[in-house]
Every structure is written in C-alpha cells, then in structure tokens.
Amino acid sequence: MSIYLSFYSIIGLLALLQSKLKSDQKLIASYLIFVLVSLFSGLRGSVGADTLNYLQIYQDSPGIAHFFESEWKVEPLFLFLNSLHKSIFDNEFLFLLGYSVFQAFLLMLVTRRSKNPSLFIFVYVVYFLFESPL
C-alpha cells in the first residue's frame, strides 16, 4: 500500500513542479515521469485480475505463423501484437513491460499535447490513486 502512495505522490509532485520549470527542464521532467510510470507498471508483477487476464490471453495467443488460423476472442490488432511478440520473444515479463512502456508513451504524447500538462498528469495520478488497491 505504501509503495502505491509513494509512487503516486512522487509522480504528482513531479507533475506540479513541472509547471514551474523552464522548457528544457520540463522535457527532462516529462521523460522522468515516462520512465517512472513505465517501470512501476511494468515491474510490479501479477497484481490484480487484469494482469492475470492479459497473461492468459498472451499464453493462448498463437505464433504469428498461425495468426490467421486462430479464433479471435479479443481485438485483432491486440492479438496480432501478442502473436508477433510471442514469435520473437515468448517472454511474459517482456510482454507486460512492453505494454507498460507503450501505455506510458501514449500518456506522454497526450500530456505534451495538452494545454496544461501538469494538471493532466496530476488528474491522471489522482484518478489511478483512487482506482488502485490500497
């Protein structure tokens, strides 16, 4: 529980401090937030039902050679990316870490395009603070 509070507090403080920084320092703060979100979500292991569901989908995904022969129970692009990853790496840890980096990258893109990036990150952190198991 305290690790979640600590993590969200650090990200929230970085988001608030980011509005006070110079433009080159804001970029560094954005990358730091990106790295922290990626590592935290990618390295936390099997936490919650969603992670176990994603791992089961990954395990059930065919290799890329059998992609078109399989029954699609999830979105085709998601299954395709799983199949591609499984054909290249076949590693559940890298699978979770890869999707965490992808999610953090999307967060960074949205943040950089928003009018008030610090407020967006702060709201994002507060939302997930109350959604996380404490």
pLDDT at position 134, please? 52
Amino acid occupying residue 64: I
103 in Cβ contact with 33 (< 8 Å): no
Tell me how far apart the alpha carbons of residues 128 and 70 are, in angstroms, rounded to a whole number: 35
123 in Cβ contact with 64 (< 8 Å): no
64 in Cβ contact with 56 (< 8 Å): no
What is the tens place of the pLDDT at every residue in 45-74?
A: 777 678 888 899 999 999 999 999 988 889
Q: Report pTM.
A: 0.76
Flag whether pLDDT at 25 surpasses 90.
Answer: no
**Nearest C-alpha neighbor of 126 from the set 69, 95, 134, 66:** 134
The distance from CA 39 to its chain's CA centroid, rounded to whole angstroms, is 9
Flag whether pLDDT at 79 surpasses 70.
Answer: yes
